[in-house]
């Protein structure tokens, strides 16, 4: 079964590494909109998002500062993308999402 669309949701809970295997997708959406601030007495909110490719065949990542980015097409292989966030209280966190395309 071919996966035509894949939505990957990144939750920043510590610095966990997530991994997903997909079969020739047309579009992959990396979505950081569920990221949240776990401290600050409820007064914290994300002010900065930054996506960066860390591994794999080079992929153009446009709009690297948006909550979500689209990647297409990806060639077979292993990829890793990092999302870095900063909140209004100056706290920083990041997570790496690994994708294997077959």
For residue 14, the enclosing domain spans: 5-101
State how many domains the chain has: 1
Q: Which two tokens stand for residue 12?
A: 């920043």
Is residue 91 packed enough to be buried (19+ CB in 10 Å), middle (13-18) or exposed (0-12)? middle
CA distance 22 to 45: 32
Mean of per-residue pLDDT scores for the chain: 76
CATH number of the domain residue 63 falls in: 2.60.40.10
For 27-70, write each residue's pLDDT tens digit: 788 889 888 777 667 778 899 999 999 999 998 887 899 999 98
- Its pTM stands at 0.72
pLDDT attached to residue 15 = 41
**What's the sign of the alpha-carbon dihedral 3, 59, 66, 39?**
positive
């Amino acid at each position: 079964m071919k996966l035509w669309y894949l939505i990957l949701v990144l939750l920043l809970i510590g610095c966990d590494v997530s991994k997903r295997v997909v079969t020739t997708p047309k579009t992959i959406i990396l979505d950081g909109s569920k990221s949240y601030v776990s401290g600050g007495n409820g007064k914290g909110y994300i002010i900065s998002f930054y996506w960066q490719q860390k591994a794999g065949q080079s992929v153009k990542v446009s709009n690297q500062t948006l909550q979500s980015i689209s990647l297409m097409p990806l060639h077979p292989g292993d990829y890793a993308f990092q999302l870095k966030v900063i909140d209004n209280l100056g706290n920083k966190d990041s997570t790496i999402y690994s994708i294997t395309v077959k």
